[in-house]
Amino acid sequence: MNLLAEKHARLIKEEAARLGFMACGIAKAERLDDDARRLESWLNKGFHGEMGYMERNFELRVDPTKLVPGARSVITMMMNYYPTQQQNSSAPFISKYAWGEDYHDIIRPKLNELLAFIRANIGAVEGRGFVDSAPVLERAWAVKSGLGWVGKNGNLLNKQTGSFFFLCTLITDLELQADPAFSTDHCGTCTRCIDACPTGAIEGPAIINATKCISYLTIELKDSLMPSGFEHRDDNWMFGCDVCQDVCPWNRFSHSNSEPAFEPIPEILHLSKSAWEQLSEEEFRRIFKKSPIKRSKWTGVLRNLKAID
């Protein structure tokens, strides 16, 4: 056993915890051959819809050494976003991850701080942090680093905390002791997420047809109108969808986050559909300037509101 690699791994995990990450795992940086085959199959079926970026940079997505030359370790971290509050029953539903400030703006500085800590305490290290905005298969790395398994709903599941957390990675040329990969699927025969999906987007265990997924339809799809068959839904989801997570038995272990930036914007909890429709574009930009909801823009929000009855 490389005692220095073990010591450095322990030091990094302690700092990750101090920065507010709920878990940290480490895997050896290597090409994800099995995941590459699964991704290629998913793309060939057209399940990515108009998310053309999923097709680009394929090798970067499956091989961390293409992103960080000389990469030896992939550090994966989880950050809890589960809220204590609930939305008013008359409010259009918004995915819980978007209730507070944009997680990119919260997590990215923490990754930079972790990298600075590594350089200050270990030495000259090359590395790059990624949070859902670069060609990195975060869930695959989370499994390889022992943080959980990919459930039938396509989300990473953790026995202690469920699935309401963000994933991010730090790829580095530093040799670190790797954690054992997570090898057990604890979903068993449960099909609650598949049965509950409002649009039938889960076409098999961990096989998500994004073109049917409400999260894709309300966030990623930029068309001015909803596709045929999705124009008048009764699910009330305006931005994203949490159904497959809300029904998952493992999420009974979810606990409230401790990040002040994820405190819900009051309007998200309380505005009715009619109140949303009466907002001006200027008010929308002011209220949601730090929110992930701004990704849909005001025109997208209006389109989404029209699609729910």
Cα–Cα distance measured from residue 272 to residue 268, given in angstroms and rounded to the nearest whole number: 9
Q: Which amino acid is at 172?
A: T
Relative to beta strand 202-204, strand 207-208 is antiparallel
Cα–Cα distance measured from residue 50 to residue 43, given in angstroms and rounded to the nearest whole number: 11
Q: CB–CB of 216/222 below 8 Å?
A: no
Partners of 172 in the beta sheet?
73, 127
Which run of H or of E encompasses 192?
helix 192-196
pLDDT tens digits along 6-40: 999 999 999 999 999 999 999 999 999 999 999 99
Cα–Cα distance measured from residue 150 to residue 39, given in angstroms and rounded to the nearest whole number: 14
Neighbours of 7 (CB within 10 A): 13
Half-sphere exposure of 177 (CA within 13 A, CB side): 13
Cα–Cα distance measured from residue 145 to residue 184, given in angstroms and rounded to the nearest whole number: 13
Instruction: Find all residues with CB under 8 Å of 187, minimum gap 6, and list them.
Output: 149, 151, 152, 157, 205
Q: CB–CB of 118/127 below 8 Å?
A: yes
What is the pLDDT confidence band of residue 123, given thresholds at 50, 70 and 90?
Answer: very high
Does residue 199 register a pLDDT over 90?
yes
For position 231, what pLDDT does the model report? Answer: 81
Q: CB–CB of 198/243 below 8 Å?
A: yes
For position 209, what pLDDT does the model report? Answer: 97
pLDDT tens digits along 153-191: 999 999 999 999 999 999 999 999 999 999 999 999 999
Tokens in use for 85? Answer: 């509050």
For position 134, what pLDDT does the model report? Answer: 82
Task: Give the position of tokens 């709920």.
Answer: 22
Q: Which amino acid is at 160?
A: Q
Whether 132 is catalytic is: yes
Determine which one of 132, 173, 235, 246 is catalytic.
132
pLDDT tens digits along 210-269: 999 999 999 999 998 899 889 888 799 999 999 999 999 999 999 999 999 999 999 999
SS3 153: coil
Domain parsing of the chain, residue ranges: 3-172
Q: CB–CB of 177/2 below 8 Å?
A: yes
Tokens in use for 10? Answer: 């322990």
The average confidence (pLDDT) of the chain is 95
Does residue 1 register a pLDDT over 70?
no
Does residue 121 register a pLDDT over 60?
yes
For position 212, what pLDDT does the model report? Answer: 96
What is the pLDDT confidence band of residue 309, given thresholds at 50, 70 and 90?
Answer: confident
Q: CB–CB of 249/190 below 8 Å?
A: yes
Instruction: Find all residues with CB under 8 Å of 200, minimum gap 6, and list them.
Output: 212
Q: CB–CB of 25/147 below 8 Å?
A: yes
What distance lies between CA 79 and its chain's CA centroid? Answer: 10
For position 112, what pLDDT does the model report? Answer: 97
Tokens in use for 159? Answer: 């026995």
pLDDT tens digits along 65-113: 999 999 999 999 999 999 999 999 889 999 999 999 999 999 999 999 9
pLDDT tens digits along 267-306: 999 999 999 999 999 999 999 999 999 999 999 999 999 9
Half-sphere exposure of 264 (CA within 13 A, CB side): 19
Q: Strand ranges (DSSP E) for the chain?
A: 23-28, 73-80, 93-94, 127-130, 149-150, 156-157, 165-172, 202-204, 207-208, 237-239
Does residue 133 register a pLDDT over 80?
no
Relative to beta strand 156-157, strand 149-150 is antiparallel
